[in-house]
Structure 1
């Protein structure tokens, strides 16, 4: 299952899925609660995978990849419900980081394996 999607395709696919239900998108506050839940699940999985807390034998075999996928789905629902284009939001965010933080970190050199 190796597919590549644009953000517009992701948003359209999520919208097609949600649009088949009468309930539609949740309210922004409910979306934020769902996002918080998913981030918590990601934190738990990261702790199990990379931290000191082993998973119980009775716990489901989720992965960091699974949890990131859930976050992408909920984030997309949130954006769609507010009519936000994720590509535009990403572009604005990257422009901010590329200007504000351009000299914040130590840049790699050719010797470091600069790409």
Structure 2
């Protein structure tokens, strides 16, 4: 296996933009992007169902992986963000802050579980 590559969201957005910018058609419209996103989610769902669900692949179906489908999904999300001039890093930060504040006490914390088991 090759060397592991890491990149920032800025790197991803630049790389996708360099790729898309070489074509006359450019980015798809927001509605088309949403349709592409939906298609990719469907392909991911299909793979998850093959690996973890009750629906095995047909012998004629091409072998794909969840990792590949997640990669395709990321590409479309980055394309969508680029087409609307959205900085993914900023969007992610806003979302994480929202979840961290709103859901702060929603789930059982691992440190709380440890405390509960020490009381007899």
Class of the TM-score when normalised by the shorter of the 2 chains: over 0.9
2:104 maps to 1:88: no
- Aligned equivalents of 2:12 and 2:59: distance in 1? 34
Cα deviation, residue 4, structure 1 = 0.4
- Aligned equivalents of 1:7 and 1:15: distance in 2? 12
Larger Rg: 2
Aligned mate of 2:9, from 7, 10, 19:
7
TM-score normalised by structure 2 residue count: 0.90
2:49 maps to 1:51: no
- Aligned equivalents of 1:96 and 1:15: distance in 2? 28
- Structure 1 residues 36-75: aligned runs within 5 Å: 36-75=38-77
Deviations 1:16-38 (A, max 9, x none): 00000000000000000000000
Q: What is aligned with 2:118?
A: none
- Aligned equivalents of 1:14 and 1:89: distance in 2? 17
- Aligned equivalents of 1:111 and 1:58: distance in 2? 49
Aligned mate of 2:31, from 14, 29, 32:
29
Aligned residues: 112
Q: What is aligned with 2:79?
A: 77
Aligned mate of 1:17, from 16, 19, 22:
19
Structure 1 runs of 4+ off > 2 angstroms? none
